[in-house]
């Protein structure tokens, strides 16, 4: 079983990996998603709690689903 903070860090790390694969800086990705750059940074560091709605929205921009982003190590 995983702790809450481990799950947030895993999701954030995997979002970062996918963002980088697509060639987006944090600034550009934040602009695309419609959030502040600091928000993306906090997500990627596992410091920001995400609503399911926001998570699904972010994942749609990186063409990844919830199952993939949560299970990768």
pLDDT class for 69, splitting at 50, 70, 90?
confident
pLDDT, tens only, 22-56: 999 999 999 999 999 999 999 999 999 999 999 99
Average pLDDT score over the chain: 92
Q: In CATH, which superfamily holds the domain spanning 4-64?
A: lambda repressor-like DNA-binding domains (1.10.260.40)
Write down the pLDDT at residue 73: 59
Domains of the chain, by residue range, sit at 4-64
All residues at 6 or more sequence positions from 35 whose CB lies less than 8 Å from its CB, including other chains:
none
Token pair, residue 3, equals 């702790």
User: What is this structure's pTM?
Assistant: 0.90
């Amino acid at each position: 079983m995983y702790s809450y903070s481990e799950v947030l860090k895993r999701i954030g790390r995997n979002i970062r990996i996918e963002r980088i694969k697509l060639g987006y800086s944090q600034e550009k990705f934040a602009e695309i998603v419609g959030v502040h750059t600091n928000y993306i940074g906090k997500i990627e560091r596992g410091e920001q709690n995400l609503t399911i709605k926001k998570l699904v929205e972010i994942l749609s921009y990186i063409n990844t689903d919830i199952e993939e982003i949560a299970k990768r190590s």
